[in-house]
Amino acid sequence: MIRQSIYRAMALMALLSWTARSEVMVIPFQLDKVDSANAATINELFAESYQTFTKDTIAKPDGIASCRDKTCALEAGKRAGASEAVYGVARQLGNKWIVSGWRVKVADGSILASSTLDSKSIGDFEFVMKRIAQGLATGKKIEETADIDNVTETEMSEEQFRRRQGYYAFGFKFGFLFPPAGRFYSRYEYDYSSSLYSGSHVVLKKYSQVLNTDFVNWFELPKDLALEWDLHVGWANEVGTHFSLLKLFSRKDFAPFAGGGIGLDYVFPDGVDSIAKDKRNGGFAINGKAGMILFRTYDFRVFTTLGYKIVFNSDLDQGISADMGIIWKKQRSSAHSSGNPVVAGLAIVGGVVLGIIVLGVALQ
């Protein structure tokens, strides 16, 4: 008896689960001035994408070629016995298409979701239809469906749209390095302020924090990897350069990342040469870091980073770093352009910093 009750309860739950699912009729989009072969492929992509974002049962369009308006979609949905209908249209305006889609309730004609996006080319329809399918199936706004793989040409320049093959950006970051307790990032200096001495005496100055500024080069690679190369200045303390390989964990606008790398740092020598004799101030460095990128699908990006760095010099200088910065896509200059003077100036500064590092290490 108990077993029969359990079976009945399970059957009832299965029935409720089945009846809770809607049967959605996905009607082919009407695509103005698109040839039949491409139109068929575009509509297949939409139907396949829609199916991946919903658990509803998809009803066959029952021979309907397409629907341009809600009245047509409602009639088709009623004939098929579907509870919802999805339809859309792509209207050509100049050299682009304005693609709009709707999901409507067949019983009363109410609009459950709608999405609109522009397409600048036939090839761009691949991303447009995936975005609209996700928006209609989930009820999300079109802005919420953007990620690094489906941003359209209308939303970015053509050059950036091809960034799946590689992406370069540059910018700046600034922040602080906090040495742990000990003699890391400390210097011996003369103290002339004490009245107890007729001359001066040597004191150990410990830095609780070091101001950092960096010029950042960002190379985005396939498989959500990125190579970050920075030219680093720790004011009154060090100069250096670092290469870090990072893994990005999201293709949305807010993308966490983590990674690490190697570099070369030169910590400025102590003010007292006699004490600093035979001291190795520069050396290779390793770092680990994690952070967050904001606006990953845009031409510019804001990011924050928390990391730890160790310099393999005599003092084994090390510390926790906290930075924030901005990078933006470098625009390619034309054949007749003299180039970007800001980028050229930064390249010169970077060369000087790198030269100082190499010279400092060589003279030790």
Query: What tens digit of pLDDT does each residue of 287-346 get?
Result: 999 999 998 877 788 999 999 999 998 888 899 999 999 998 765 443 334 444 555 555
* Same domain flag for 328 and 235: yes
Torsion region of 236: left, alpha or beta (phi above 0 gives left; psi -120 to 50 gives alpha): left
* Mean pLDDT confidence for 271-276: 58
Q: Are residues 286 and 321 in the same domain?
A: yes
Torsion region of 130: left, alpha or beta (phi above 0 gives left; psi -120 to 50 gives alpha)? alpha
Residue 17 lies in a domain: no
Statement: residue 193 has pLDDT above 80: no
Burial class (CB in 10 A: 0-12, 13-18, 19+), 210: buried
What was the pLDDT predicted at 312?
A: 93
Q: 36-52 vs 125-138: helix axis angle to the nearest 10?
A: 40
Domain final residue pick, 86, 120, 155: 155
CATH of the domain at 287: 2.40.160.20
Query: CA nearest 325: which of 171, 176, 142, 193?
Result: 171
**Does residue 40 form part of some domain?**
yes
Query: What sign results for the dihedral spanned by CA atoms 51, 59, 125, 113?
Result: negative
* Range from 62-76, 137-151, 195-209, 339-353 that averages highest in pLDDT: 62-76
d(CA 307, CA 247): 14
- Same domain assignment for residues 149 and 199: no
> Is residue 35 scored above 70 in pLDDT?
yes
pLDDT of residue 246: 95
One domain, residues 147 and 264: no
3-state DSSP helix/strand/coil % of the chain, to nearest 5: 25, 40, 35
135 and 170 in a single domain? The answer is no
- Residue at a domain's end among 131, 155, 179: 155
Q: What whole-number percentage of the chain has pLDDT above 70? A: 69
Residue 111 contacts residue 102 (beta carbons within 8 Å): yes
Residue 68 pLDDT level (bands cut at 50, 70, 90): confident
Residues 235 and 302 in one domain: yes
- pLDDT of 207 reads 77
Range 268-278 average pLDDT? 65
Task: Tell me the average pLDDT of the chain.
Answer: 78
Strands 23-26 and 57-59: parallel
Structural domain includes residue 173 = yes
DSSP codes, 265-288: EEEPPPS-TTTTTT---EEEEEEE
Q: Is residue 295 in a domain?
A: yes
When pLDDT is cut at 50, 70 and 90, the band that residue 348 belongs to is low
Query: Domain residues for 315?
Result: 165-362
Same domain, yes or no, for 299 and 187?
A: yes
Rg value, the chain, Cα: 31
What pLDDT score does 7 carry?
46
Give the per-residue pLDDT at 244: 95
From the number of C-beta atoms within 10 Å of its C-beta (0-12, 13-18, 19+), residue 123 rates as: exposed
Same domain, 179 and 261: yes
Same domain, 322 and 280: yes
The domain boundary residue, chosen from 130, 155, 180? 155
Per-residue tokens: 109: 């004609």
CB atoms within 10 A of CB 191: 12
Tokens matching residue 66: 């397409």
- Strands 167-178 and 300-311, by their bridges, are unpaired
SS (H, E, C) 110-144: CEEEEEEEEECCCCCHHHHHHHHHHHHHHCCCHHH
Q: Is residue 237, in this structure, part of any structural domain at all?
A: yes
Residue 256 pLDDT > 90: yes
Please write the tens of the pLDDT for every residue from 100-119.
999 999 999 999 999 888 88
Same domain, residue pair 27 and 77: yes
Asked whether the CA dihedral 217, 263, 359, 280 is positive or negative, the reply is positive
Domain count, the chain: 2
Overall average pLDDT of the 70-94 stretch? 90
Contact 210, 224 (CB under 8 A): no
More confident residue, 16 or 111: 111
Structure tokens at 248: 């990005």
Assess whether pLDDT exceeds 80 at residue 5: no
Distance (Å, whole) CA 132 – CA 130: 6
Q: For residues 83 and 209, state if they share a domain.
A: no
Look at residue 10 and tell me if it is in a domain.
Answer: no
149 & 235 share domain: no
Q: Give residue 20's pLDDT band: very low, low, confident or very high (50, 70, 90).
A: very low
Question: Quick check: is 277 in a domain?
Answer: yes
Q: For position 35, which CATH number holds?
A: 3.40.50.10070
| pLDDT higher than threshold 60 for residue 219 | yes
Which pLDDT belongs to residue 147?
Answer: 60
Rounded Cα–Cα distance for residues 139 and 235 (Å): 51
More confident residue, 151 or 66: 66
4 lies in a domain?
no
Q: Is the model more confident about 15 or about 331?
A: 331
Supply the pLDDT for residue 262: 95
Which residues neighbour 211 within 8 Å (Cβ) at sequence distance 6 or greater? Answer: 174, 176, 234, 235
